A and B are shown apart, each in its own frame.
Chain A
Amino acid sequence: MTTSIDLNAPETDGVRLESRAWKKLKSNKSALVGCIIVTFFALLAILAPLLPIADPIATSWSAVRKAPSAAHWLGTDEIGRDILSRMIWGAQASLMAGVVSVFIAVLVGVPFGLISGYFGGWVDQAISRVADALLATPFLILAIALAAFLGPSLSNAMIAIGLSAMPIFVRLTRGQVLSVKTEDYVEGARAIGLTDFAIISRYILPNVFAPVLVQATLTVATAIIAEASLSFLGLGQQAPSPSWGSMLNVAKNFMTQAPWMAWWPGAAIFLVVLGFNLLGDGLRDALDPREG
C-alpha cells in the first residue's frame, strides 16, 4: 500500500514552491543580513571553547570594572572577569535557550495540532481549550511562574519558555491541517485506504512545514528575549556561568561606575533577535504562496 499513483502531484508542487522560495529568499537583502547575523553568533557560540579568549569565570582583583582597553576589548566586570569572553560564552547560553525551547514547543505543539485538526470532534475541543488556556496567560508571566515553581536554572527556563510557546504551534498547525484536510489529494489518499498515520505524515505534514518553519524562526527571537528576561530576573542561567541576561542583571547595579557592563550584552541580544526577526520575515515572504 505504499505506491501512490497520482498522489505525487502535491509533492511536485512542493518542490516547485521550494526552489522558487529559495530564489526569493536569496534575493531578499534583509533576510540575507539576518542570516549573516545569526550565522555569526552561532559560530561564536559553537567555537567558544576553541577561541583564544580568557576564562569566562576567572576573576581578577587587579582588573575590577576596567573600561574597554587593549587587554580587555570590552572591559571587565565587577569581579574582574573579561566581558568579551563572557559575551562569547553567553552567546552559547542564549542561542541554546532560544533553539532548544522552540524545539520543545514544536515537538509538543505540532503533533497536538495535527491530531486536533485531523481528527476534530471532542479531541479537537479538548486540545484547543487547553491551548486557549495556555495562551490566556501572557508568555513571560507563564514562564516566570513555571520557572519559579520548577526552580531557577537554565534548563528549567528552557522548559518554561518551550511550554509557554507551545500553544502557538498547536493553533498554527491545527489551522493549517483544517485548510488542507478537504483537498482532493487528501480525500484521494483516504479513498485508496491509506492509514491516518500515512495520510498525516505524507500529505498533511509537508503542508504544515513552511508556516511552522517561519513561526519557529520568529519564535526563536521571542525565546531569546524571554531567556534573557528570565536570566535578568535571576530565574535563568545561574552564576557564575555567563548569560547575556544575567550579565545585564549585574550591570544595572554598576550603571554609573561601569556603564560598559550594560552596553554589550544588550547590544548582542538586540542583534541576534533582529537577525532572527529579519530571517523569519524573509522566510515568510519567500514561502508565502499567495505572493507571486
Chain B
Amino acid sequence: MLSYIARRLAIAIPTLILVSIFVFVLQKLLPGDPALVLAGEERDPQMLEFIREKYRLNDPIIYQYVYWMKAMLQGDLGVSLRTNQPVLELIGDKLPVTIQLATMAMIIAFVIGIPTGILSAVKKGTAIDYIANIVALSGLSIPNFWLGIMLILLVSVNLGWLPASGYESPFVDLGRSLKTMIMPAFVLGTALAATLMRHTRSAMLGVLKADYVRTARAKGLNETIVIIKHAFRNALLPIVTLSALLFGELLAGAVLTEQIFTIPGFGKLIVDAVFTRDYAVVQGVVMCTAAGFILMNLIADVLYFLLNPRMRASL
C-alpha cells in the first residue's frame, strides 16, 4: 500500500514541476517588457529598475525560474498588484467559498445523477431509459452560464423566490447562505449529474450481467436488495474514482457560475485578475488548481486501491 502511494507520488512530483514550468513560461508570453507590465500604471524608471531587481528580470531565465520556484516552495506565490495582498492569502480567502459551492453542487449531482443512472440501467431500453439519456445529454450540452442566466430570469426576476446574487458565509447566517448558494450549486451540479448518470448507468449495466447478480436473483432475493446490495455496491468503484476526477471540472465550471451569480470565490478571483492584469494572481490560481487536481487524482488512485478487494489482496 505505502509503496503504491509512493509510486503514485513519484509520478505526481515531476508533473507538478512541469506545471510550474508552464505557469512560469506563461509570464514570458506577455508582449513587451515584463517590468513595464508588472509595474502597471507606474512609469518611474527607478520603480521599473526596482521591479527588475526584485523579480530578477536581469538574470538568465533559468535563474529566474529557480528563484520563483524557491519562493513558491516557501509559500510565497507573489503579491497581488491590485490589492498588494500576498497571493496565497487571497486564495486562502476565496477558496472556502468555492469549496462550499462545489460541495453543494456535488451533493446535488449525486442526488440526481446516481438514482437516475441506476434506474436507467435497470429499465434499459424502456421509455424511462430513453428520457433519462436525453435529459443527461442535454445537461452535458447546456452551457452552464446560460442555464444560470435563465434561472435568474425565472426564479429571481419573474418569481422572486431566491436572490439573484450575493454571498453569505454559512457560519454567519446558514439559512441565507444556503438560499444564495442553492441556485448556483444547481447550475454547477447539472453537468456533473449528467456525467455521473451516464457512468452509473454503464457501470450498472456491466454489473447487472454478472454471475453473482444472477445467483442473487436465483436465490429469490428481493429485486431492490439485489440492485442496491449486489449490483450497485460493485458499480460504486468507478463512480467513486470518477467523482474525485470531476473536481477539476467543478472548479472550471465554478469560474463561470461565480461570475454570473457574483459569488466572491476562486473562479471570480482568476477572472478579475485576468482583467486587472494581475498576473501573479493568475499564476497562483493556476498553480493551486493543478496541485489540487493532482492531489484529487492521487486520492482517486488510493480510493480505487482501497475499494477494490482484488487490488487489496495483492498487498
Pair from one complex: yes
Give residues 126-157 of B contacting A (CB, 8 Å).
137-138, 140-143, 145-147, 149-150, 152-153, 157
Interface range, A side: 35 or more
Provide the A250-263 mask, 1 if CB < 8 A to any CB of B, else 0. Answer: 01100110010010
A229 on interface, CB distance cutoff 8 Å: yes
Choose the segment among B215-223, B244-252, B299-307 that binds chain A (4+ C-beta atoms closer than 8 Å): B244-252
From known contacts A137-B289, A142-B286, infer whether A262 and B143 are also in contact, taking CB-CB under 8 Å: no
- In the complex, identify which listed stretch (A20-28, A72-80, A230-238) lies at the interface while the others stay far away: A230-238
Determine which of B22, B31, B149, B270 lies in contact with A144 in the assembled complex, contact meaning CB atoms within 8 Å: B270
Contact residue among B26, B140, B149 (Cβ-Cβ distance under 8 Å from A146)? B26
User: For B19, what are the chain A residues with a Cβ–Cβ distance below 8 Å?
Assistant: 133, 136-137
- Is A138 a contact partner of B141 (Cβ separation < 8 A)? no
Check A61 for interface membership: any CB of B closer than 8 A: no
Residues of A within 8 A of B248 (CB): 138-139
Q: Which residues of A contact B275 (CB under 8 A)?
A: 234
- Determine whether the beta carbon of A148 is less than 8 Å from that of B137: no
Complex CA distance for A68 and B26, rounded to whole angstroms: 45
Give CA–CA (A248, B147) in the complex, Å. Answer: 11
Q: Are A252 and B282 in contact (CB under 8 A)?
A: no
Q: Interface with A: B59-67, B68-76, B255-263, which one?
A: B255-263
Cβ-defined contact, B249 with A133, below 8 A: no
A residues less than 8 Å from B27 (CB atoms): 149
Complex interface bits, B282-301 against A, C-beta within 8 A gives 1, otherwise 0: 11011001100110010000
* Interface membership of B271, Cβ < 8 A: yes
By a CB distance below 8 angstroms, the chain B residues around A145 are: 23, 26, 270, 274, 282-283, 285-286
Cα distance, A109 to B259, chains bound together (Å): 32
**B169 touches A (CB below 8 Å):** no
For residue B15, CB closer than 8 A to chain A, the reply is yes
Asked whether, in the complex, the Cβ of A235 is within 8 Å of the Cβ of B274, the reply is yes
Q: Which residue of B lies closest to A125 (CB)?
A: B14
Contacting residues of chain B (225-263) with chain A, CB-CB under 8 angstroms? 248-249, 251-253, 255-256, 259-260
Which residues from B are CB-within-8-Å of A255?
149, 152-153, 157
User: Is A206 engaged at the interface, CB distance under 8 Å to the other chain?
Assistant: no
Residue of B nearest to A150 (CB): B29
Q: Is chain B's interface secondary structure helix, strand, loop, or mixed overall?
A: helix
CB-defined contacts of A204 to chain B, threshold 8 Å: none
Q: Answer yes or no: A168 CB below 8 A from chain B CBs.
A: no
Q: In the complex the two chains form, is A144's CB within 8 Å of B146's CB?
A: no
B2 at the interface (CB under 8 A from A): no
Bound together, the chains give a CA A33 to CA B259 distance in angstroms of 33
| B30/A248 in contact, CB under 8 A | no
- In the assembly, what is the distance between CA of A142 and CA of B248, in Å? 11
Q: Which A residues are in CB contact (< 8 Å) with B145? A: 228-229, 232, 248
Interface residues of A in 104-132 (CB under 8 A from B): 129-130, 132
Pick from B137, B256, B289: contact of A232, CB under 8 Å: B256
Write the A37-69 contact mask toward B (1 if CB under 8 angstroms, else 0).
000000000000000000000000000000000
Q: Which residues of A contact B141 (CB under 8 A)?
A: 221, 270, 273-274, 277
Assembly CA distance A234 to B251 (angstroms): 19
A14 within 8 A of B: no
- Judged by a CB distance under 8 angstroms, whether B110 is at the interface is no
Contact B146 A141 (CB under 8 A): no
Q: Is the CB of B270 within 8 A of A141?
A: yes
The answer to whether A138 and B252 touch (CB under 8 A), given A133-B19, A145-B286, A266-B149, is: yes
9 closest pairs, A vs B, by CB?
Answer: A266-B146, A133-B18, A140-B252, A274-B141, A138-B252, A138-B248, A148-B274, A273-B141, A149-B29
Q: Can you name 15 A-B pairs with beta carbons within 8 Å?
A: A134-B22, A137-B22, A137-B289, A137-B293, A138-B293, A141-B255, A146-B26, A233-B255, A248-B149, A251-B149, A262-B149, A262-B153, A266-B143, A273-B143, A281-B137
* Seed contacts A140-B252, A141-B252, A232-B145; 6 additional CB < 8 Å A-B pairs: A140-B255, A141-B270, A144-B270, A233-B256, A252-B260, A278-B137
